[in-house]
Structure 1
Amino acid sequence: MSLEIIYYPHPTLRYVSKPIKRVDAELRKIADEMLDLMYESKGVGLAANQVDLPLRMFVANPTGEKGSGEEFVIVNPEVSRPKGSEVGEEGCLSLPGLTGDVIRPKSIRISAFDMKGNPIETTLEGFLARVFLHEIDHLDGTLFFDRMGEHAALELGAGIDELETDFRSKQATGSIPPDDQLIARLADWTNKYC
């Protein structure tokens, strides 16, 4: 299986991902591929539903560089104890070229699992907390511009419209299946891992 990043408004980006109940060699391989794809795309995080998989998993490395910094593969994350708030610029590999300021907590508590089923309980702050929250939003079907003020989100309007026009024209020519078919394919994955 070869993974590709899907672009807005692909319906899987709005799908609420399902918790993973089992990890196997294929899922570990998918996580490795997601990390490679994230680095190739110059990203710092990538959620499973950004590669058209409805699974509650994401990968991250705040440096965005392979072999530098710490790599994370996070399964079934939950957030608690948000503290403070700060504004930071965010972009998204599924919305190429678009960025905007998003208010997020300065620190959060994360409860999750790694690929071996070991529990992760940690407090994150600053940029790493922002990366995790951005990816967890993806798993909940939320995009960064949903968190922006109305005026700021309007500034992205032309770029969002362009992505939507491009996606719908590909559907019209048959190079991308209709939305209902795209969503129907997700059941195979949820049946296997969730």
Structure 2
Amino acid sequence: MSSTIAPQDFLEQGVSVSSGADALKIVPHPHPALRRKAKPVTEINAALRRHVSEMFELMYAHEGVGLAATQVARPWRLFVANPTGEADQTDQQQVFINPEIVRQTGSETAEEGCLSLPQLFGDVRRAKQITVEAFDLNGELFTLELDELPARVVLHEFDHLEGVMFPDRMTPAEKTKADPKLADFEHAWRKAQKSGEIPDDRTLLKAFETFKL
């Protein structure tokens, strides 16, 4: 959630924290991975742990508080979060593997942003309190009861694993205000594809769905 990079600059920067063929990059809307439902994680190994570490680096580098695997074009059902957004507050960071939202109560509306939609913000109504179950990097199942911002972060990132983005949950009025910015993202993306800077959607989707550790 949240970023201050314009759509065209976001594409140009590449947004990576490492080099190599499998370097992680935050992908912007309308990358097709963002609309795919993530697959359950079946093995926790050294490679997955390295990817999770890089996801935290990316999240902090872009002043985010959560980042889902689909946002880095990885098909896994996992996300990382730290509601403080502070890299030095490691006691607040959490890895959610194969998460499930088992309870939602109350509701409140608050502004949200997204690292895959930099400079786009809008009000979204979500549950105020939730209970979430997930596995950690040690393969241990845990349960958390969260409210307010921590709950919102988890719900936002969980949506990503379902192929849902926060503008989908905006009110009609908020969505109308967001449409021009969404169109800018679409235009920048298609322009980059036309020039050959970015592969076509079919190629990107195949790479996403067949990626293996």
TM-score in terms of structure 1 length = 0.96
1:110-189 correspondence to structure 2 within 5 Å: 110-189=132-211
Give the one of 77, 96, 103 matched to 1:56.
Answer: 77
Q: Distance in 2 between matches of 1:9 and 1:184?
A: 15
Unaligned segments of structure 1, at least 5 residues: none
1:8-87 correspondence to structure 2 within 5 Å: 8-68=29-89, 70-87=92-109
Q: Distance in 1 between matches of 2:191 and 2:155?
A: 32
Q: Distance in 1 between matches of 2:37 and 2:209?
A: 13
1:187 shift after superposition: 3.0
> Helix, strand or coil for the counterpart of 2:92?
coil
Q: Which amino acid aligns with 1:143?
A: M
Unaligned segments of structure 2, at least 5 residues: 1-21
> Helix, strand or coil for the counterpart of 2:57?
helix
TM-score in terms of structure 2 length = 0.87
1:94 shift after superposition: 0.2
1:92-142 CA distance string (max 9 Å, x none): 000000000000001111011001100011211110000000000001000
Q: Which amino acid aligns with 2:58?
A: L
> Helix, strand or coil for the counterpart of 1:135?
helix
> Helix, strand or coil for the counterpart of 2:103?
strand
- Report the RMSD for the aligned CA atoms in angstroms: 1.0
Q: Distance in 1 between matches of 2:100 and 2:70?
A: 17
1:76-115 correspondence to structure 2 within 5 Å: 76-115=98-137
Q: Determine the structure 1 residue equivalent to 2:19.
A: none
1:138-170 CA distance string (max 9 Å, x none): 010000010011111110111110010000001
1:62-105 CA distance string (max 9 Å, x none): 01110125111110000022100000110000000000000000
> Helix, strand or coil for the counterpart of 1:156?
helix
Q: Which amino acid aligns with 2:55?
A: M
Q: Distance in 2 between matches of 1:187 and 1:6?
A: 15
> Helix, strand or coil for the counterpart of 1:50?
helix
1:2-32 CA distance string (max 9 Å, x none): 2111000000000100010101100000000
> Helix, strand or coil for the counterpart of 1:74?
strand
> Helix, strand or coil for the counterpart of 1:161?
helix
Q: Which amino acid aligns with 2:185?
A: L
